[in-house]
Amino acid sequence: MAAGVIALLLGLALPLAARAQACAAAGDALRLDWSETGWTAGSKGGTYTAGRTGASGDGTGEAVTVTLSGATNRFEKGYPAVSSEFTGGRGSGHESLALQVDFGSNQQSVTVRLDFASPVDGLSFEILDVDYLPYQRVQRGFRDGVTVTGVTEDGGTALPALRSPYFPAGQTTSDRATVYFGAPLAANQVVGYGGDAAPGTDEGNVTVRFGQPVTSVRIEYTNGLYAPSPNPQRQAIALSDIEFCAVRPANLEATKTQAVISETPQACGDFDAPAPGGAELTIPGACIEYRIRVTNTGTRPADDVSLADELDGSLVFRAARILGFEADGPGFGLTTPVSGQDCAGGGCRVSLADAALPAGATGEVVIRATVR
C-alpha cells in the first residue's frame, strides 16, 4: 500500500506505507534457513534472522519471530527440531523444522506463527510429509491436516496458493502424491490422502505461496480434518526454509513543464482542437499549457495520491484534464476553477485527489490558461 501527496512547486511526501513488488532486485531476496537459526530442540519459538541470498544481498537481514501455540504439550520429546529427518526429496543434507506430535483427540492442534518485522512479499515455503495412515486393528492411524492463513498490513486475511509437485492447480490429488486439495476443504487447507509418505521423499510436499504482501502467517496442524480415528497415533510434518522478498517503498517523482500552445486565446480550453503551431511568445491572450507529470519509479502501486497547483495571478484559467492516473476512492478526480476565472484575485487552484498510480506508470495533470 502506498500513498503520496504532491504540492507544486514540486514537493513530495510519501509515507512509509508505500511498498515494493516482490524481489525487485537480487538483494531483496531473503531466506530463513532453519539450519542457521540455532534452533534448540523442543523450543517453542524465538526471533531469528532471515539472511539475504541475492548477489547484492550484503545488507542486514530481516527479523522473523516464530511462535508455537496450542497443544504444545503433545509434541514428542525433542520436538520441534531442526534436522534432516524430513528432506522432501532434497537429499540427506537438507534440514527442516520437524513437528512431531501425538494428539490426544481430534480437537487438538498446534499452530506455528511467523511474524515479520515489516511486510514481506512473495512469501513461499514447503510443508513436507503431509500424509495419511488408515485406522486398523494394530494401528490408530492419522490424517495430517494443515490450514495456512496470512495477515496483510491492514489486518486483512491473505490466502495462499497450495500446490503439489505431482499434479496441476485444479486437480485434487494424484496416485503419486499423499496429499489432497479441494472440496470439501477450504482453499487454504490440505490433508493427507492415499498413503504414508516416506520421510525422504517429495510425495507429501505442499508448496505454499502468497501472492500479496503479508505481515504474519499462521500454520495450523491438526488431525481433526476427516480423521480416521478419535485418538490418532503419532504423526509429523515439517517446514522447509522460508523464502520471501523485502518490500521497498514506492517512489513518486514529479516534474512541471510549460509550453505556449497558441498566441491567441481561441479554443484554448478545447483539448481536442489542433494546436496551430509556431507559437512562441507569452503575449496577452496567449494560450499556455502546463503539464505536471508524476512517475512511480518504485515497484509497488502508489495509492491515495493527491496533487495541487496554484496558477499565477497573471493568468485566466481555461481547462484541465488528467491522464494515466487510476481511481483510488470515491473522491477521484480534478477540482478546478470555473473556466474563464481570472486568477488575479487568487483561488485558481487545480487539485487531484484519491488517485492511484501503478508501479512504473506515469500520470499527468494538464492545465490550460491564457495570459491576461
Residues 63-109 have pLDDT tens digits of: 999 999 999 999 999 999 999 999 999 988 899 999 999 999 999 99
Coil, strand or helix: which one is 140? Answer: coil
| pLDDT grade for 318, boundaries at 50, 70 and 90 | very high
- Cα distance from N-terminal residue to C-terminal residue, the chain: 43
Q: Looking at residue 186, what is its pLDDT?
A: 97
| pLDDT grade for 250, boundaries at 50, 70 and 90 | confident
Domain limits, the chain: 3-17+249-371, 26-246
CATH fold of 3-17+249-371 reads: Immunoglobulin-like (2.60.40)
| 307 burial type by CB count under 10 A (0-12 exposed, 13-18 middle, 19+ buried) | buried
Per-residue pLDDT at 3 exceeds 90: no
d(CA 35, CA 92): 13
Strands 326-327 and 349-357: what pairing?
Answer: antiparallel
Q: Mapped to the 3 state alphabet, what secondary structure does 276-290 carry?
A: CCCCCCCCCCCEEEE
CB 12 within 8 Å of CB 254 = yes
Residue with cell 504474519: 216
Per-residue pLDDT at 249 exceeds 70: yes
Q: Tens digit of pLDDT for each residue in 212-236?
A: 999 999 999 999 889 998 999 999 9
d(CA 151, CA 19): 16
CATH fold of 26-246 reads: Jelly Rolls (2.60.120)
- Please compute the mean of the pLDDT values over residues 240-259 and round it to a whole number: 90
Coil, strand or helix: which one is 178? Answer: coil
Please give the residue that has the higher pLDDT: either 286 or 282. 286
Chain mean pLDDT for the chain: 89
d(CA 106, CA 224): 4
Q: Closest by alpha carbon to 221, among 183, 241, 193, 191?
A: 191
| pLDDT grade for 24, boundaries at 50, 70 and 90 | low
| pLDDT grade for 58, boundaries at 50, 70 and 90 | low
- The answer to pTM > 0.75 is no
| pLDDT grade for 6, boundaries at 50, 70 and 90 | very low
**Residues whose CB is less than 8 angstroms from the CB of residue 6 and which lie 6 or more positions away in sequence, other chains included:** 12, 252, 254, 292, 294, 305, 306, 307, 308
Q: Looking at residue 133, what is its pLDDT?
A: 96
Coil, strand or helix: which one is 353? Answer: strand
